[in-house]
Amino acid sequence: MPIEAKRIWEQMLPLLETNMTILSFDVWIKPIEPLDIRDGKLVLMVASEWGKNEVNMRYLPLIKGAMNAVSSLLTDVEIISADQKEKYVSQEETYEIKEVPIEAAEPLSINPKYNFENFVVGKCNQLAVAAARAVAEEPGTRYNPLFIYGGAGLGKTHLMHAIGNSLRASRPRLKVLLVSSEKFVNELVKYIGMEKDGQKFRDKYRSVDVLMVDDIQFISGKPGTMEEIFHTFNELYNSSKQLVFTSDRHPKDIPDIDDRLRSRFEWGFTADVQPPDLETRIAILRKKAQIQKHNINMDVLTYMAECISSNVREMEGLLNKVILLSQLNETKPSIELVKEALNDYSEKEEGEITADDVIDATCKCFNVKRDDLLGKRKTRDIVEPRQICIYVMTEILDLPLATIGNIFGGRDHTTIMYARDKVAQSMSQQKTVDDVNNVKNMVYKK
């Protein structure tokens, strides 16, 4: 059983870590040793009697919560100090733990990789996570439909699968269906083509307990299918079945959809996901590294998090590249390796808009010279166009800030961040909005 205790404890650690400060985690949780499982209790050992009392007082509920999340068979946690160990080791083992196989409704549609435990909660997404958790706990009651919206790579699909995984574990009998809106519409069109009334489509979609449609914005502009979709959602909603949607924008901003459908989306609960702040980005990177069993230095994680600011998917791509490079070079991940990995990002594909295009456009719009724009001059007539150029780059190019810094004569990524934020803040002024739009129009006109 000690091995089982260790396995369970290892699964609990990332959960505990996301729910406390890094400092508390390092001080209180890391030193704990998973000792055994006895009588349905997870026995944890802390070095001193004093430590045992502290952990009991501060973290017992959190530890219990994490245990319940990873194992449905354990009933309690017991914390002992090192000098009580003898007593435990000599006792007979009385409890045996067995895995309960979980029956999967649609094994392929829900990705087990995406669960709540490995989703990092920050200010940027806490509302969406809370609502998603509530839906997973009590589907079809509150928050129906749940509508999660926000930019690319910010975890919407992850959260949707997390709801699916959680429901699968807690209520294996519920029929949970997760589809992309593309698949949803394709099936609808196919079935309606096969038989006039689309009975098969109805049988499939109206018989589920939870229907989740990812990227629902893609149903826009397809009037023939809108009616059927509306009725499907209505019927499910009226029989208290849970609906969950994700979208890259708020329902009111989805063009060309039936107004009834739009208002249906807004009836329940809408929650947005925003780009994570630096601290959350670091936490995400830590978690992703941990999942792959890599221990990466805090400096390196921070550097990565600073370089990529708006898209978690990209940040993950960078992390994977750094890990790969470190394995190839047989060295520990370092800032140098991150820089090396970042270099690849500047390679471009044909027809794609490049940093050069943005630079050219800015030079034309403001009538400044390229060398000045990229150089060190600090006069106002140069600094303003430079900041606008940087802002447009961060908006329309998928370039890490460090790479943009290199383009601008080796400026630090924090300088780039500053320029970007400065323009973003002054977007309340019409002049800035016009400047940005002029540059963008010029870029796209090419």
Binding site for ligand ADP (CB under 6 A): 114, 119-120, 125, 152-158, 284, 287, 312-313, 316
Give the strand pairing for 146-150 and 269-273: parallel
Pick between residue 227 and residue 253 the one whose CB is nearest to ligand ADP: 253
Q: From Mg ion, ligand ADP, none, which one binds at residue 191 (CB under 5 to 8 Å depending on kind)?
A: none
Q: In whole angstroms, what is the distance from residue 146 CA to residue 112 CA?
A: 21
125 vs 309, beta carbon nearer ligand ADP: 125
Minimum distance between the CB of residue 121 and ligand ADP, rounded to whole angstroms?
Answer: 7
Q: Is 232 in the site for Mg ion (CB under 5 A)?
A: no
Look at residue 158 and give the partner it binds from Mg ion, ligand ADP, none, a contact being a CB closer than 5 to 8 Å depending on partner kind: ligand ADP
Helices (H), 138-220: 156-170, 181-194, 199-206
What does 352-404 look like in DSSP terms, one character per residue? ---HHHHHHHHHHHHT--HHHHHS----HHHHHHHHHHHHHHHHHS---HHHH
Q: Check residue 217 for interaction with Mg ion (CB under 5 A).
A: no
Name which of Mg ion, ligand ADP, none residue 313 binds, using a CB cut-off of 5 to 8 Å depending on partner kind: ligand ADP
Nearer to Mg ion, 273 or 283 (CB): 273
State which residue, 156 or 420, has the beta carbon closest to Mg ion: 156
- Give the shortest CB-418-to-ligand ADP separation in angstroms: 25
Which C-beta is closer to Mg ion: that of 112 or that of 409?
112
Query: Strand order of the sheet with strand 176-180?
Result: 176-180, 210-214, 242-247, 146-150, 269-273
Can you tell me which of 71, 115, 125, 157 binds Mg ion, judged by CB under 5 A? 157
Tokens 């045992």 appear where?
A: 52
Residue 220: exposure state from Cβ atoms within 10 A (0-12, 13-18, ≥19): middle
Measured from the CB of residue 156, what is the shortest distance to Mg ion in angstroms? 5
Q: Which is nearer to Mg ion, 247 or 387 (CB)?
A: 247
Contacts of 381 (CB under 8 A, 6+ apart): 366, 368
Question: At closest approach, how far in Å is the CB of 141 from ligand ADP?
Answer: 25
The DSSP code for 345 is G
What CA–CA distance (Å, rounded) separates 241 from 264? Answer: 14
- From the list ligand ADP, Mg ion, none, pick the one residue 120 interacts with, judged by a Cβ distance below 5 to 8 Å according to partner type: ligand ADP
Minimum gap (Å) between residue 215 Cβ and ligand ADP? 8
Pairing between β-strand 176-180 and β-strand 210-214 as defined by DSSP bridges: parallel
| Sign of the dihedral defined by the CA atoms of residues 286, 289, 295, 297, in that order | negative
| Residue range at the interface with Mg ion (CB under 5 A); choices 106-114, 154-162, 341-349, 418-426 | 154-162
Give min distance, CB of 396 to ligand ADP, in A: 18
d(CA 429, CA 6): 58
Nearest to 106, CA basis, from 212, 242, 225: 212
Nearest distance in Å: CB 281, ligand ADP: 9
Q: How far is the CB of 306 from ligand ADP (least distance, A)?
A: 17
Q: Which entry of ligand ADP, Mg ion, none binds 9, CB below 5 to 8 A by partner kind?
A: none
Are 62 and 29 contacting, i.e. CB atoms less than 8 angstroms apart?
Answer: no
Scanning 7-15, 150-158, 193-201, 363-371 for contacts with Mg ion by CB under 5 A, the matching segment is 150-158
Contacts with Mg ion, residue ranges (CB under 5 A): 156-157
